[in-house]
Amino acid sequence: MVKDSFRLTVDGVEIEAMPGQSVIEACDAAGIYIPRLCHHPDLAPAGHCRVCTCIINGRNASACVTPAAHGMVIENNTPQLTKDRRGIIEMLFVEGNHPCPYCVASGDCELQALGYRLGLVAPIQPYQWPGRKIDATHPDIYLDYDRCILCSRCIRASKMEDGKTVFGFEGRGIVMRLNLDAAGGLGETEMAAIDKAARICPVACIVIKRGAYSVPDGGRRFDITPIGSDIEAKRKESKP
Ligand code: SF4
Ligand code: SF4
Ligand code: FES
């Protein structure tokens, strides 16, 4: 056991964690995948999407913003939690426009990959078919607002990694939308294609121009292995 480490239990499996780790970080390190959308290992957690909700010591809590603690008892992989997570993914699908078969991100999209992993077949809730715009004002990047799932990764990356304030949210609740710090579109912001914010979107809302289809369908990240496999592989590797 590493000095200062402590133990907690996830779905009956005892794992080791370190001080300062959140539940999701401790599970990632131990090779246990907790589904997530807004969480990204390079960014401060935001607790926006609720996909990572687990039952922690008997109560629902977001694994990305809950510090790991000695003796915690966590339920992650249960039929009810899978159903709840599928419900969140379904809501995101019907709230935007997501024609996966001809989307540039198909096979490399975390929303789509989670839909597959959680067994989403066809949404039960009605599609809302919003009419949102595409912003192609930037020479190297375009924004397709139809795909935005309001995860805030771009906001956090722009602020904390790029030292800019390109993205923000406006409004609250169901009218909350992504906005920019320039009225004339992305082309008027300081955004650059090398920015972290340009490459951290989990869906096809922030897209680098002229890069589409450089990896053909069938050879993309989640075409090859399901989302979470990289994390789960750590556990398989550590087993004797
Ligand atoms: S962003 Fe993802 S979920 Fe949306 S249409 Fe594209 S592949 Fe499908
Ligand atoms: S543009 Fe992408 S990264 Fe930014 S909030 Fe929308 S989905 Fe998240
Ligand atoms: S991943 Fe934890 S709330 Fe989104």
Q: How confident is the model at residue 239 (pLDDT cuts 50, 70, 90)?
A: low
Does the pLDDT of residue 103 top 90, yes or no? yes
What are the pLDDT digits (tens) for 40-96?
Answer: 999 999 999 999 999 999 999 999 999 999 999 999 999 999 999 999 999 999 999
Q: Where residue 145 sits, what CATH number does that domain have?
A: 3.30.70.20
Do residues 153 and 40 lie in contact, with contact meaning Cβ atoms separated by under 8 Å?
yes
**Percentage of the chain lying above the pLDDT 70 cut:** 98
Is 149 close to ligand 1, i.e. is its CB under 6 Å away? no
**53 backbone dihedrals φ, ψ, rounded to 5°:** -55, 130
- Residue 102 forms part of a structural domain: no
CA of 75 to the centre of ligand 3 (A): 16
* 171/177 Cα distance (integer angstroms): 6
CA of 136 to the centre of ligand 1 (A): 18
Does the pLDDT of residue 227 top 70, yes or no? yes
| 173 Cβ contact partners less than 8 Å away, ≥ 6 residues apart | none
Q: Where residue 29 sits, what CATH number does that domain have?
A: 3.10.20.740
Q: How confident is the model at residue 218 (pLDDT cuts 50, 70, 90)?
A: confident
Question: Is the same domain home to 23 and 79?
Answer: yes
Q: Name the closest-CA residue to atom 8, ligand 1.
A: 100
* 237/226 Cα distance (integer angstroms): 17
What are the pLDDT digits (tens) for 125-181?
Answer: 999 999 999 999 999 999 999 999 999 999 999 999 999 999 999 998 888 999 999
Question: Which ligand has an atom closest to residue 99 CA?
Answer: 1
Average pLDDT, whole number, for the chain?
95
- Reduced to 3 states, what is the DSSP secondary structure of residue 78? coil
CA of 36 to the centre of ligand 3 (A): 5
Question: Is the same domain home to 177 and 145?
Answer: yes
Does the pLDDT of residue 116 top 70, yes or no? yes
- Residue 11 forms part of a structural domain: yes
Is 156 close to ligand 1, i.e. is its CB under 6 Å away? no
Q: How many CA atoms lie within 13 A of 26 on its CB side?
A: 28
Least confident of 59-68, 178-187, 229-238: 229-238
Do residues 27 and 36 lie in contact, with contact meaning Cβ atoms separated by under 8 Å?
no
Query: Can you give the pLDDT at residue 54?
Result: 98
* 202/154 Cα distance (integer angstroms): 10
What is the β-pairing status of strands 73-75 and 6-10?
Answer: parallel
* Structure tokens belonging to residue 112: 């789509």
Query: Can you give the pLDDT at residue 174?
Result: 82
Does the pLDDT of residue 191 top 90, yes or no? yes
* 193/186 Cα distance (integer angstroms): 11
Is 51 close to ligand 3, i.e. is its CB under 6 Å away? yes
- The whole domain housing 29 covers 6-83+226-238
Q: Which atom of ligand 2 is nearest to the CA of 153?
A: 3
Does the pLDDT of residue 28 top 60, yes or no? yes
Query: Can you give the pLDDT at residue 175?
Result: 87
Question: Is the same domain home to 61 and 18?
Answer: yes
Query: Can you give the pLDDT at residue 240?
Result: 54
- Reduced to 3 states, what is the DSSP secondary structure of residue 187? helix
Percentage helix, strand, coil, to 5, in the chain? 30, 15, 55
- Residue 121 forms part of a structural domain: no
Question: Is the same domain home to 13 and 79?
Answer: yes
What residues are in contact with ligand 2 under a 6 Å CB criterion?
Answer: 148-154, 178, 201-203, 205-206
Count of domains forming the chain: 2
* 41/131 Cα distance (integer angstroms): 32
Question: Is the same domain home to 189 and 233?
Answer: no
Question: Is the same domain home to 232 and 164?
Answer: no
Question: Is the same domain home to 140 and 195?
Answer: yes
* Structure tokens belonging to residue 66: 């809950």
CA of 61 to the centre of ligand 3 (A): 10
How many H helices and E strands in the chain?
Answer: 6, 10
- Residue 55 forms part of a structural domain: yes
